[in-house]
Structure 1
Amino acid sequence: MQQLRPPHHMGAASARKYAPLLLRAMAEQGWPSIFEVDHTVLAREVTRDPQGFKRPSSLVPTRIRDLPRYAIVTGADQGQGATAERCPVHPERYRKGCVPCALTVPA
């Protein structure tokens, strides 16, 4: 957090304060460990959409609390559960990507 670009960077005290929150959010949302994660992806996620924040210092803690699932951020969830979600009419697609099938309630 101390290596984020201004205006989102934090000093040592703030980084110590928010590090446990970040690590907990990462674990709960399926992110790799802090030693394995792509720090560019993580930094982009905790500093995204700064519009509406009057104080830049409040953006990062808010984004940490709202950290999305890692699979959603990276697109890693595509293809998981493929056998259960394949469309019988459009076997080359997954139900998620097929508009007619996505609008159909599964039996």
Structure 2
Amino acid sequence: MLLIMTFVLTILITLSMILFIIPILNIHKKLDREKSSPFECGFDPFSKPRISFSIHFFSVSLMFLIFDIEITLVLPTPILLKEINIVSWMISCTFLFSMLILGLILEWKQGSMNWL
């Protein structure tokens, strides 16, 4: 019992020392205005908040999300090939890839991927 009490007391003392030392070591970070400001992609944090952002940034992030979701749908297929019908898998993957390729061609034709 005494060993457990000593162990708990040692842990409490160590934790309290850490809680008092960390704010002292981080004083220089509180003084830096730029590091304490929130970071938002595509925006200058010290300018007017209602400026418009680049549509190219939005379209690239949207394309990334679409292809990221596509990867999560296709990635487990080697494991599932043992359990599902190969014909239905081929039809669904062909439909998925054709929709993605058609969307990519449409974005290319509209010029959303041009940065000039």
User: The TM-score by the shorter chain falls in which range?
Assistant: under 0.3
TM (norm. structure 2) is 0.21
More helix by share: 2
TM-score by length of 1: 0.22
